[in-house]
Amino acid sequence: MKALCLTTPDGKSVDAADSTIVISNKEGKLRLTFGGCDKENSDISYSWYSADLNAGDKYVIRYKDLDPSGLSPAEDIIDYGNRDEIRKRMLEHYIKLKKELTEAGILTK
């Protein structure tokens, strides 16, 4: 099978088929995400690697044949069809944001 193989700055190797590498910019901070969706169930999203980018980081991306047993396990799996899971994630994000805004003095307790 064909796979994308990502080698991270710390030497970690991540191999995944049917994947995408995205570099996004949120509030001036660049982030690399290596993920994809399940071909048979588009409600399922996988993330094999995600990290903020820093000046001088060096990543190596290769496209190669790989035995399916050599694929890396996903770091995070989201089932968008599971309402309870989505609500739980939304609550976790809310609690984190509330803490950050309180610590910054934007929200009061």
pLDDT tens-digit readout, 2-22: 889 999 999 999 999 888 899
Residue 32 maps to a domain: yes
- Report field, pTM of the whole predicted structure over 0.75: no
Residue 41 maps to a domain: yes
Q: Which of 68, 66, 60 is nearest to 34 (CA)?
A: 60
What is the model's pLDDT at position 28? 85
Residue 40 maps to a domain: yes
CA atoms of 91 and 65, how far apart (whole Å) = 40
pLDDT tens-digit readout, 31-44: 999 998 877 777 88
Tokens of 43: 């409600």
Residue 69 maps to a domain: yes
Residue 109 maps to a domain: no
Residue 94 maps to a domain: no
Residue 101 maps to a domain: no
CA atoms of 10 and 21, how far apart (whole Å) = 18
DSSP bridge partners of 36: 46
Residue 108 near residue 101 (C-beta atoms within 8 A): no
Total tally of structural domains belonging to the chain: 1
Residue 93 maps to a domain: no
The domain of 8 spans: 2-80
